[in-house]
Amino acid sequence: MRSGSKVTGVNMRVYLDNELSPRPPDEVVESLIPFFNKKAYGSPKVPHEPGLEAYQFIQEVLEYLSSLLDSDGDFTIVGSGTEANNLALRGIIRFLSKRGNLVTSSVEHRSVLGPLEDLSQILEVRMAPVDEDGHVRVEELERLIDRETILVSVQMVNQETGAIHDLDAISDITRDKGVFLHVDACDALGRLHIDLSKVDLLSLSGSKIYGPRGVGLLYVREDLDLEPIMSGSTGIQLLTPVDVNIPALAGFYKALQLFGSPEKWGEVKRMRDRISRELEGTGVVMNSPPDSIDTINFSVREGAGALILEASTRGLYLSQGTSEPVSYVLTAMGRARKLAANGLVLKLHPYMRWEEVEFTIEVLSDLLGEKKA
């Protein structure tokens, strides 16, 4: 086995496991280091100089994000996209304090499906199906909404396939029916235009835009109150007692500046489409739809784990895009269990180079050709 492949004579290592563990670029890592002990290292709750510097830095980041997304509401800084989803779902149910039903889709992230499973002890949870490309069937979602529906929770972009859901249509339905709408936009930030006027709650993740782990955000519409879901000491934010992770926030800020607008992702989309076209000729089953911006999900008939290991020896790092033995996302899309258990995911990053694209094609074509032989 080779310890690396070559494109134009250059050894490469290409990391595309950016769904399970996104890899920040050097600029992001370098930007956050001073915030450990040189800049804004004080508690923002205390009015000494380091504390005021921390407080002002937090406000600077929130103002930048609000300007970028044209927000009139409030953002709460939390520890991850998972925490943001939990706060949104559990917080609004505590605030509303009434029985009814919640509507979601069958392909949501586990950080949405998990809280909803807990809430199903006191509320009915209804699941909208998706089509074979992984898009939410909007007409069927609409049929699930009735007078007892409290909240609809959907994602903008699916984490495993990159499928983009029709948020405009779903928002129109919820507005017409007077139902709250929560959107998980963790995999959409930067890649798509986010119109906050169409949502009531919206979750974001710092790591999914190639910032560090340790920061997420929840947007809450200006006239909407939520109840906290954790207790602790009084902080500078109403919805969480947890102190802001300022170094992580600094890294998120840098990533937002680098990758926070859709024009930064056009080249990524072209790279993604180039790899996808090449894979289509290898006999694999393509799972990602054409509208995916940065994600390629495909299934082999067997041996996905072995392919990951072999690709790694050649310098290409990918994964199955899920920690579960069988992808519930692919199952919901109608894929047979064997295909759902042998999915592979490439998630391209916004600082990828074309020579890395050609390297990826070379390695995968080689390995998939060996599997066919």
Residues 248 and 271 in one domain: no
Q: Which residues pair with 296 in a beta bridge?
A: 346
Q: How many domains does the chain have?
A: 2
H or E, element range at 218: strand 216-220
Say yes or no: 237 and 267 in one domain: no
Is residue 11 in some structural domain?
yes
Higher pLDDT, 190 or 371: 190
pLDDT value of position 219: 97
Is there a single domain that holds both residue 117 and residue 238?
A: yes
| Percent over 90 (pLDDT), the chain | 86
Residue 168, domain member (yes or no): yes
Q: Are residues 214 and 329 in the same domain?
A: no
Per-residue pLDDT, averaged over 99-115, amounts to 96
317 in the same domain as 254:
no
Angle at 21 between CA 361 and CA 266, to 5 degrees: 50
Domain boundary among 259, 281, 305: 259
Candidates 169, 171, 166; CA nearest to 188 is: 166
pLDDT of 51 strictly over 90: yes
Q: Note whether 184 and 311 are same-domain residues.
A: no
Query: What band does 8 get if pLDDT is binned at 50, 70 and 90?
Result: very low
Residue 2 has pLDDT above 60, yes or no: no
Residue type for position 110: R
Whether residue 304 lies inside any domain: the answer is yes
**End residue of a domain, out of 229, 259, 289:** 259
Numbers of helices and strands, H then E, in the chain: 13, 14
Regarding whether 266 and 255 lie in a shared domain, the answer is: no
Does 250 share its domain with 289? no
Average pLDDT over residues 131-147: 98
Asked if 268 contacts 293 with a C-beta cutoff of 8 angstroms, the reply is: yes
> In what helix (H) or strand (E) does residue 50 lie, and over which residues does it extend?
helix 49-69
pLDDT in tens, 313-327: 999 999 999 999 999
Q: Looking at the structure, tell me whether residues 201 and 298 fall in a common domain.
A: no
| CATH number of the domain that residue 198 is part of | 3.40.640.10
Mean pLDDT of the chain: 94
Confidence of residue 197 (pLDDT cuts 50, 70, 90): very high
- Sign for the CA dihedral angle at 188, 189, 193, 197 comes to positive
Instruction: For residue 222, name the pLDDT band (cuts at 50, 70, 90).
Output: confident
pLDDT digits (tens, 9 = 90+) for 58-87: 999 999 999 999 988 899 999 999 999 999
Of 20, 16, 24, whose CA–CA distance to 311 is shortest? 16
Residues pairing with 344 in the sheet:
298
Let me know whether 245 and 278 are in one domain: no
**21 within domain boundaries:** no
Residue 300: which CATH number? 3.90.1150.10
Q: Could you tell me if 189 and 286 lie in one domain?
A: no
Q: Per-residue pLDDT averaged across 322-351, rounded?
A: 97
d(CA 113, CA 20): 17
Determine if the pTM surpasses 0.75.
yes
230, 259, 288 - which closes a domain: 259
Asked if residue 271 and residue 255 are part of one domain, the reply reads no
Alpha-carbon span 333 to 133, nearest angstrom: 7
In a domain, residue 231? The reply is yes
Range of 329's domain?
6-16+262-372
